[in-house]
């Protein structure tokens, strides 16, 4: 990471604790705000992520930072035998569990409280691991990636969807203005929490996107690393495999 970004830089509590409290606080409005802030395009990005997973073995899948379960529900459309959605926030998980139950998918989807940097699973367990808008919230990015590598089966796949900053100067200026001013304003109006959405925009700007993140994945030990820029460069999908 370019710098240590926490929801509240003046708070001595660990980033992990702060992020958990933040997502608990915005959990009820999170889905609505995602649709508004991304103009609904985040659903297309998740669909493309699922298409990448589909091309490789995916009987047992782990979705890290699963939040309210949007991605596990999308993954359930594939012929997966078991999907585990893991998250630190009980508030986000509660909503995710309700959505899974409403779809009648409790037999295939398990929503579990857990830490992405200390995964409660044996090594070589999952065919695929997915993360959507979650790796930038890891307190220790490399530790979390090492854990993902550990629980993947040999030749298992990692697919990550994460925000990015456009390279084009004009688009970058528009993007930064939108994320640093408009996003927090919308968050203040709808979620009553400007700070949370200021953090989300700041952490996105600080995240090592594109080739820089590819290099980190390769350093950890992933192979066949690729990144796919999405929608004028405002997000990216990363693909990697365990050797």
| 134 pLDDT above the threshold of 70 | yes
Q: Which helix (H) or strand (E) holds 32?
A: helix 15-37
- Is 107 contained in some domain? yes
- Is 59 contained in some domain? yes
79: helix, strand or coil: coil
Per-residue pLDDT tens digits for 138-178: 999 999 999 999 999 999 999 999 999 999 999 999 999 99
For residues 132 and 163, what is the distance between their CA atoms, to the nearest angstrom?
9
Q: What's the pLDDT at 4?
A: 59
- Is 114 contained in some domain? yes
- Is 24 contained in some domain? yes
Q: What's the pLDDT at 183?
A: 84
Helix, strand, coil percentages for the chain (3-state, nearest 5): 50, 20, 30
Per-residue pLDDT tens digits for 106-131: 999 999 999 999 999 999 999 999 99
- Is 7 contained in some domain? no
Q: What is the number of alpha carbons within 13 Å of residue 95 lying toward its C-beta? A: 19
More confident residue, 72 or 38: 72
Q: What pTM was computed for the model? A: 0.92
In terms of residue numbers, what domain contains 221? 15-164+206-241
- Is 6 contained in some domain? no
Number of structural domains (the chain) is 1
Question: What percent of the chain lies above the pLDDT cut of 90?
Answer: 71
Exposed e or buried b for every residue in 177-203, given b needs 16+ CB within 10 A? eebeeebbebbeeebebeebbbbbbbb
Q: What's the pLDDT at 12?
A: 65
- Is 8 contained in some domain? no
- Is 170 contained in some domain? no
More confident residue, 9 or 212: 212
**At a CB cut-off of 8 Å and minimum separation 6, what does 115 contact?**
16, 88
CATH number at residue 120: 3.40.50.150
């Amino acid at each position: 990471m370019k710098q240590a970004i926490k929801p509240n830089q003046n708070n001595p509590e660990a980033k992990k604790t702060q992020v958990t409290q933040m997502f608990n606080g915005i959990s009820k409005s999170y889905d609505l705000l995602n649709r508004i802030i991304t103009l609904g395009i985040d659903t297309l990005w998740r669909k493309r992520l699922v298409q990448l997973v589909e091309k490789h073995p995916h009987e047992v899948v782990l979705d890290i930072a699963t939040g309210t379960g949007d991605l596990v529900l999308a993954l359930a459309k594939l012929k997966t035998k078991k999907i585990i959605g893991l998250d630190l926030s009980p508030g986000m998980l509660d909503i995710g569990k309700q959505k899974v139950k409403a779809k009648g998918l409790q037999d295939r989807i398990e929503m579990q409280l857990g830490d992405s940097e200390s995964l409660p699973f044996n090594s070589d367990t999952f065919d695929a691991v997915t993360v959507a808008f979650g790796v930038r919230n890891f307190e220790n990015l490399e530790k979390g990636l090492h854990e993902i590598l550990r629980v993947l089966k040999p030749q298992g796949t990692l697919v990550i969807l994460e925000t990015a900053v456009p390279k084009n100067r004009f688009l970058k200026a528009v993007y930064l203005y939108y994320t640093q001013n408009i996003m927090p304003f919308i968050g203040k109006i709808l979620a009553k929490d400007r700070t949370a959405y200021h953090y989300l925009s700041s952490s996105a700007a600080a995240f090592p996107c594109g080739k820089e993140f590819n290099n980190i994945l390769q350093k950890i030990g992933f192979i066949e690393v690729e990144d796919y820029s999405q929608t004028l460069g405002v997000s990216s999908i990363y693909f990697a495999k365990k050797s």
